[in-house]
Chain A
Amino acid sequence: MTEYLIKNGFVFDPVLGIRGDATDIAIKDGKIVETDAVKNPKVIDATGKTVMAGGVDIHAHVAGPKVNIGRNFRPEDKLFNARPGRGIERMQGGFSVPTTIRTGYNYARMGYTTVMEAAMPPLYARHTHEEIRDTPIIDQGAFPVFGNNWFVLEYLKNHELENAAAYIAWLLRATKGYAVKVVNPGGTEAWGWGLNCENIHDPVPYFDITPAQIVKGLIEANEYLGLPHSMHIHANNLGNPGNYTTTLDTFKLSEGIRPRGRFGRQQVMHHTHVQFHSYGGDSWRNFESRADAIMDYVNAHDNITIDMGAVTLDETTTMTADGPFEHHLTELNHLKWANADVELETGSGVVPYIYSPSIKVCAIQWCMGLELALLAKDPMRVFMSTDHPNAGPFIRYPRIMKWLMSQEAREQQIETFKHKDKVIDATHIAGIDRELDLYEIAQMTRAGPAKALGLSEMYGGLAPGLTADVVVFAFNPNEPYAPDDIEKAFGDVEHLFKTGVHIINNHEIVSNGNKRTLWVNARVHENPQVMRDVREKFLRYYTVTLNNYEVRGHHYVPNPYVIEVDATQ
């Protein structure tokens, strides 16, 4: 492989602790190496430019059945944004739910090289993997959903932790999944009857277990296995005024539990898109931000990480395994509604949504997303996300960087709000003058999420030995800049290397890369009871046979990267 030397760029890297010093970065055989280890490298002159590791997105909906429902049922999302194929690029289309091909290219153009698909219904794992396969360049993994799975509900109700863990290990292998995802625990099963679980003590119909028991049990099972990532949760009661108390109750379920395993993460709970879970008030009329209470808790508890779910004020397509929430949303905005319940496992819904700066609630949501990051004491535990495409499309990450890095940019945005005064009253943003620097941005978008995913030995930094995912941005942090320069530079990288391959050269995509699918193979002791239960449920309740369930390699996961976990010790 070609060796590269990226010379003299302003490097921002939390792993090495470099805060903008001019440093050389060397690449050999797909890894970062010491600069004297390359003999005859191709030199990229990065003088006056910013250099970072490839970005890591811990939570985005970019592949799978509900994403494709979003594409197929919104032809309007493709209006006026098609891009013909040219050079090595294939045709691209779509805004809030882009085609897989555009998804890969757009992430690359922002300097992101690793993206986690946040919710994979196990029965649809093949579909998710087919889309991942057709997403060029970026490394990806997918999180199967467990929080409404009948096996999990039954094992945890009976306090059979070991069985729950064995089932998790089996399902991760069968679906080629990466982590334990929980969406509206118990609530989506209740949605099978048109019901919901609105707080963590609201019992699940028939199964007679509470969301609190599910969450706590899954944290414990996750740590029993010592998986790379922690349990990754979207809690109950999403999107309702006053729900911040449910969120705090959920956080508290992690208290006293410490991480196990060899992957070096600190947290036992990752709570995703917290913006949607930080609402005060008791109606849309007195709706207000309680990001302060949420961040007080997060700042004081180092076994929790979160991502923002920042609202970007776009027309977008919401999609989640939280089936009852999407039904609630369609009743609010009266736009088209798709729902897809999945036997024994989960459900999902899809509804288009327009976040308008002229609507008070939307403007308050915008403030809250940013407040979470601006109130964070430890940027290694608070990550950038839009819960793509729920709060906005991922292509807005550079714009969020602009808002986080510039109070002026935030004030400009607030000026456009129709109900500016009411919005300021209901939020804290006007009193925050913090401007994040690029080091903190690198923590929130690279080193932090990589560590939380248990991938700090592969991604998130520029230390020798890490995967050579390196980005050069045409941005000089030492010269005066306007806020919009940030958005421009970080949305259109000058150079991108993925696993040592030169993907973007002078803003042009020159390679489709060699993307990998990450999945976790956890070994547990043989568990005849779980295997008996699996056979029984397939025989009686599933509509596919057990032998037709497992996703096998080749076509679906052509280039796997398997992370082995041994839970038999």
Chain B
Amino acid sequence: MTKTVTDVICPFCGTLCDDLEVVISNDGKNLLEVYNACAIGAEKFLQSQAKDRLIRPRMRQEDGSWKEITYDEAIEYTARMLASAKKPLMYGWSSTNCEAQSIGSEIGEYVGAVMDNTATVCHGTSLIAVQDIGIPSCTLGEVKNRADRIVFWGCNPAHAHPRHMSRYSIFPRGFFTGKGHTGRKMIVVDPRVTDTARIADIHLQVEQGRDYELLDAIRVAFKGEQLPDVVAGIPKEKIYEVAETLKSGRFAIIFFGMGVTQSLGKNHNIDAAIAVTRDLNEYTKAAIMPMRGHYNVTGSGQVWGWQFGFPFAVDLSRGFARYNPGETTANDLLRRGEVDAVFIIASDPGAHFPFSSVKKIYDLPSVAIDPHETPTTEVCKVHVPVAFVGIEAGGCAYRMDNVPIETRKVVEAPEGMMTDEEFLRSVLARIKEIRGFKR
């Protein structure tokens, strides 16, 4: 016999689909099938059932081999490492729940850590741009119910957020959008002919690294002013056409991804994209939204926002919260050798940071908390596998439009495994003992 759990939240990407159905064994121990999920989401659920999954912490030995240790030993190592460090880096936080993030903040306060999340190599530039110019945005339901002009700029939801277009942006029939995709104009800006670009009404094949110019040209075109014959590889007629298409819509939305946030210009590109959105609001209704990657990177920025006032790159080492991207961001700290211990949770910098940063992690006392074996766990001294949040533990997560949804526990974790939250709580208690805090 099996049971079906409905309304399951997918803990993979920022789309945070909440309509999955998961079939589990009657004893609640095995997850058998996943419905409604995209290929990536389904794979994450099924992977949790892998027979060769690590279920106990391990510590690297002198000779490079791993030795299994107990959770207590892992807690002791982590607590001692953080308590004795002068300026530890506590990085990641994007694939875990807000409960764990919140306890992490408390640990960070006690030990004077620098807290950074994956936005630092992703949408951190967007967050900086928002601090410059603001952001007119909305929830994804507004897009579903109202939007008739959809722009994907430097992002490829067909592969990175596979259900985004069907759930929210292109295909659904909403309240004022009863014609579904036939009532919408889809514009994709990408130097590559991606699978997303292939289904667009208009594909602007911008020259790589020329997004800023093209965004500014669109602003010029809104005002009907003169443009050079070609901007960023796009003929001016096409730019005027796109500007007119956007202005003539009832509700326009720009979704953007790392093609603009991490290419030449970085936060300045996003400044310009938000300015385009502001300008459009003079003619019609318009909004803009970052396509956040990890399913709860947004939540990490929210939790730090209300606790410290900053969404990423939060330096607590002076006893109060400071924020200065470029100085207090993970890669800058690592490469300058400014941190003396590294704690990594719910992310994989080993796969995404520059080699020079990863090498520093390898040289320092380091702990990685991750259900998977990853390039990061391979360079850390201690690896603590934990239960999967959203599969084996519940907890709050924030969608890319900042909507909080409570993820569900659908199966039991293998016996004796800790959750992120439990592990962090134990580390916090141990640090208080070591440091003699009374609070």
What residue of chain A has the Cβ atom nearest to residue B277's Cβ?
Answer: A339
User: Does B311 belong to the interface (CB within 8 Å)?
Assistant: yes
A101 near B307 with CB under 8 A, answer yes
Known interface pairs A78-B310, A541-B144, A548-B405; A555-B395 also in contact (CB < 8 Å)? yes
Q: B320–A73 contact, CB under 8 A?
A: no
Q: Which of B96-128 contact A (CB under 8 A)?
A: 98-99, 102, 106, 109, 127
Shortest B87–chain A CB gap in Å is 16
- The total of Cβ contacts below 8 Å across the A-B interface reads 188
Q: Are A343 and B142 in contact (CB under 8 A)?
A: yes
Complex Cα distance A317/B18, Å?
34
Query: Judging by beta carbons under 8 Å apart, are A127 and B130 in contact?
Result: no
B319 at the interface (CB under 8 A from A): yes
Is B139 a contact partner of A71 (Cβ separation < 8 A)?
Answer: no
A63 to B102 Cα, complex, angstroms: 16
A541 touches B145 (CB 8 A): yes
The answer to whether B307 and A134 touch across the interface, beta carbons within 8 angstroms, is yes
Map CB proximity to B onto A59-75 as digits: 1 under 8 Å, 0 otherwise: 00001010110011111
CB–CB B102/A134 < 8 A: yes
Q: State whether the Cβ of A351 lies closer than 8 Å to any Cβ in chain B.
A: yes
Give the contact stretch, choosing among A86-94, A242-250, A373-381, A465-473.
A86-94
| Residue ID in chain A nearest B134 by CB atoms | A336
Per-residue CB contact flags for chain A residues 90-108 toward chain B (1 = under 8 Å, else 0) read: 1111100111110000000
A193, CB-defined interface residue at 8 Å: yes
Do A340 and B138 touch across chains, with their CB atoms under 8 A apart? yes
B77 at the interface (CB under 8 A from A): no
Q: A218-254, CB under 8 A of B: which get 1 and which 0? A: 0000000000000000000000000000000000000
Given known contacts A82-B321, A85-B319, A134-B306, A336 and B133 CB-to-CB distance under 8 angstroms: yes
Chain A interface bracket (under 10, 10 to 19, 20 to 34, 35 or more): 35 or more
Most chain A beta carbons < 10 A, residue from B142, B167, B305: B305
CA of A124 to CA of B306 in the docked complex: distance in angstroms?
Answer: 14
Task: Report chain B residues within 8 Å CB of A336.
Answer: 130-134
B238 within 8 A of A: no
Give chain B residues whose Cβ lies under 8 Å from the Cβ of A409: none
Contacts of A124 in B (CB 8 A): 402-404
Considering the complex, give the chain B residue whose CB is closest to the CB of A86: B319
Judge whether A99 and B139 touch: CB under 8 Å. Answer: no
Which residues of B (3-28) have their CB < 8 Å from a CB of A?
6-7, 9, 18-19
Which residues of chain A come closer than 8 Å to B135, judged between CB atoms? 73, 338-339
CB of A77 closer than 8 Å to a CB of B: yes
Q: In chain A, residues 150-189, which have Cβ atoms closer than 8 Å to a Cβ of chain B? A: 150
Does B51 lie at the interface of the complex (its beta carbon under 8 Å from any beta carbon of A)?
A: no
Q: Assess whether A548 is in contact with B9, with CB atoms less than 8 Å apart.
A: yes
> Which A residues are in CB contact (< 8 Å) with B278?
330, 337
**Interfacial chain B residues near A556, Cβ < 8 Å:** 396
Report which of A75, A192, A338, A342 forms a contact with B323, defined as CB distance below 8 A.
Answer: A75
Q: How far is the CA of A84 from the CA of B307 in the complex (A)?
A: 13
A321 shortest CB reach to chain B, Å = 13
B251 at the interface (CB under 8 A from A): yes
Distance in angstroms from B239 CB to nearest chain A CB is: 23
One of B38-46, B222-230, B279-287, B351-359 contacting the partner: B279-287
**Do A130 and B98 touch across chains, with their CB atoms under 8 A apart?**
yes
Question: A548 touching B406 by the CB < 8 A rule?
Answer: yes
Instruction: Kindly identify which residue among A83, A92, A330, A543 contacts B139, using a CB–CB cutoff of 8 Å.
Output: A543
B35 / chain A contacts, CB cutoff of 8 Å: none
Are B144's CB and A543's CB within 8 A?
Answer: yes
> Which A residues touch B144, using CB under 8 A?
343, 541, 543
Complex CA gap A126/B145 in Å reads: 23
Residues of A with C-beta under 8 A to B138: 339-343, 347
Contact check, B130 vs A341: say whether CB atoms are below 8 A apart: no
Check B306–A68 contact: CB distance below 8 A: yes
Closest-by-CB residue of B relative to A547 is B7
Q: Which residues of B contact A131 (CB under 8 A)?
A: 306
- Contact digits for B304-337, partner A, Cβ 8 Å, 1 yes 0 no: 0111111100001011111100000000000000
A88 to B133, CA, bound (A): 37
Pick from B99, B102, B137, B146: contact of A338, CB below 8 A.
Answer: B137
Q: How far is the CA of A161 from the CA of B322 in the complex (A)?
A: 52
Q: Shortest Cβ distance from B422 into chain A, in angstroms?
A: 14
Q: Is the CB of B281 within 8 A of A192?
A: no
Q: Taking the complex as formed, is B141 at the interface, i.e. its CB lies under 8 A from any CB of chain A? A: yes
Q: In the complex, are the beta carbons of A130 and B404 less than 8 A apart?
A: yes
Flag if A126 contacts B396 (CB, 8 Å): yes
Contact A192 B146 (CB under 8 A): yes
A300 interfacial contact with B, CB 8 Å: no
Instruction: Give Cα A400–Cα B34 distance, bound, in whole angstroms.
Output: 59
Contact B306 A100 (CB under 8 A): yes
B320 interface neighbour in A65, A83, A134, Cβ under 8 Å: A83
A73 touching B134, Cβ below 8 Å: yes
In the bound complex, CA of A330 to CA of B135 (Å): 12
Residue B179 is within 8 A (CB to CB) of chain A in the complex: no
* B-side contacts of A548, CB under 8 Å: 7, 9, 18, 405-406
Q: Is the CB of B141 within 8 A of A555?
A: no
A540 to B141, CA, bound (A): 10
Please tell me if A194 contacts chain B, counting CB pairs below 8 Å: yes
Task: Convert A530-566 into 0s and 1s, putting 1 for each residue whose CB lies closer than 8 angstroms to a CB of B.
Answer: 0000000000111111011000100110000000000
A27 within 8 A of B: no
> Which residues does chain A contribute within 8 Å of B142, judged by CB atoms?
192, 341-343
For residue B350, CB closer than 8 A to chain A, the reply is no
Instruction: Tell me which residues across on chain B come within 8 A of A396, comparing CB atoms.
Output: none
- Residues of B with C-beta under 8 A to A547: 6-7
- Cβ distance A242 to chain B, nearest Cβ, rounded Å: 24
Q: Is the CB of B310 within 8 A of A330?
A: no
Tell which of A98, A123, A542, A543 has the most Cβ of chain B within 10 Å.
A543
Contact of B18 among A94, A193, A545 (CB under 8 A): A545
**Is A350 among interface residues, defined by CB-CB distance under 8 A?**
yes
A544 to B316, CA, bound (A): 36
Contact of A127 with B308 at beta-carbon distance under 8 Å, contacts A193-B285, A541-B144, A543-B141 already known: no
A327 at the interface (CB under 8 A from B): yes
Q: How far is the CA of A351 from the CA of B135 in the complex (A)?
A: 10
B136 at interface by CB-CB < 8 Å: yes
Tell me whether A344 and B141 are in contact in the complex, defined as CB-CB below 8 angstroms, given that A124-B403, A134-B102 are known contacts.
yes
Contacts of B7 in A (CB 8 A): 545, 547-548
Can you list 17 A-B contacts with CB-CB less than 8 angstroms, sorted by A residue number? A73-B130, A75-B131, A75-B309, A84-B319, A85-B319, A90-B109, A93-B309, A123-B139, A130-B303, A330-B278, A336-B133, A338-B134, A543-B139, A543-B168, A552-B406, A555-B99, A556-B396
The 6 closest A-B pairs by CB, nearest first: A343-B141, A336-B134, A84-B319, A82-B320, A341-B138, A194-B285
Given contacts A193-B285, A347-B138, 19 further A-B contacts (CB under 8 A): A65-B402, A77-B309, A82-B322, A90-B109, A92-B320, A97-B309, A126-B396, A126-B406, A150-B175, A192-B285, A336-B130, A336-B131, A336-B132, A340-B139, A341-B137, A342-B141, A343-B139, A351-B134, A545-B19
